[in-house]
Structure 1
């Protein structure tokens, strides 16, 4: 197991997060996810192998885990909720829709928040591979890089450099 992930799990429990560990470390992501995102960084895969659910104390921010990716979660939101909202906004504009889909092909959502409107964190799986970006409504596809890796992202959460509530 990844030490940074173990450290985050302890931190999350100590800080009131609803974190459930997986009983086994097997990971079975839906084929549509693995076909779309062929190069998911190992630290995030390690996280998904260890954590079943991870929800902030105010229940408005959560990590997207295996059940969400496999559409087996009881949450009202899809793992790709922000992409779906963007596609809905594009209505019948097929060029815009294809641009939105192509953009999201590069970014794997890993955290969703509804605390102050819709926002997300995602891993760049194409350009700046492994970097974590943040986006929010109304222009989800305008993002800023917040960490160079998933492990640094966890470190920034634990040090309150990134505030997930």
Structure 2
């Protein structure tokens, strides 16, 4: 499949084959408060992906995709979120930098240029995000605790990331960081 275009239904089918629970979207509109927090407009493909389902969670409830429905719920709860909000790792970094204004500014700058796609608590807190700015604009990066803002590029684009995810889930290219962040097994 062309890495520049992968159909949502192909990815959803692969996730379902591996036991991921996927719920249909209920409020798949982009919250303005979410869109305006970033340094650049969110790509249409990203908004379409995040709006494709209300929730998308792995069988062990330890990895999940960030969705528009989930974001809207997180924003409505105004910081009183059970579990992990879409910006949980940003909040953790801000808390860790509480006594350092420069470090807080660096954390904020990083997260205004990276949209979380998938969060995971397998072994450690980790995530995949879409870069919106700089040299890696459009690429998907991987980060983990304790320094969430130190990342590595895992795919040149969202479609390439989704294709690689399908390949990894289906028993192919089982390489880090996917094998750290997701339950990878044979179909």
The answer to whether the superposition gives a TM-score over 0.5 is yes
1:56–1:153 distance in 2 versus 1, CA, 3 Å? same
Aligned-partner Cα distance in 2 for 1:111–1:140: 13
| Cα distance in 2, alignment partners of residues 83 and 153 from structure 1 | 22
Separation (CA, whole Å) in 2 of partners of 1:77 and 1:5: 24
Q: Number of residues paired by the alignment?
A: 162
Match of residue 21 from structure 2: 18
Cα contact 1:60–1:115 (8 A) shared by 2: yes
Give the alignment of 1:87-106 within 5 angstroms. Answer: 87-106=94-113
- Give the drift of 1:21: 2.3
Structure 1 Cα separation of the partners of residues 25 and 119 of structure 2: 20
Residue 25 of structure 2 contacts residue 69 of structure 2 at CA under 8 Å; is this kept in 1?
no
Give, in whole Å, the separation in 2 of the partners of 1:140 and 1:50.
26
CA distance in 2, matches of 1:59, 1:134: 19
Report the Cα offset of residue 5 of structure 1: 1.1
Report the equivalent of 2:140: 132
Q: Is the 8 A contact 1:20 1:52 kept in 2?
A: yes
What are the equivalent positions in structure 2 for 1:71-110 lying under 5 Å apart?
A: 71=74, 75-110=82-117
Determine the structure 2 residue equivalent to 1:39. Answer: 41
* 1: CA distance, partners of 2:16 / 2:62: 17
Q: CA deviation at 1:35?
A: 0.5
CA RMSD of aligned residues (A): 1.9
2:157 maps to which residue?
149
1:126-163 per-residue CA deviation (whole Å, 9 max, x = no partner) reads 12221100000001110000011111111111111334
Runs (5+) with no aligned partner, structure 1: none
Compute the displacement of 1:39 (Å): 2.0
**Cα displacement (A) at 1:3:** 4.7
8 A contact 1:108–1:124 mirrored in 2: yes
Distance across 2 between alignment mates of 1:3 and 1:144: 22
Cα deviation digits, residues 63-108 of structure 1 (max 9, x gap): 0111221216975111111110000001221121111101111111
Question: Is the contact between residue 17 and residue 54 of structure 1 (CA under 8 Å) also seen in structure 2?
Answer: yes
Matched, 1:69 2:71: yes
Are positions 1:7 and 2:10 aligned together?
Answer: yes
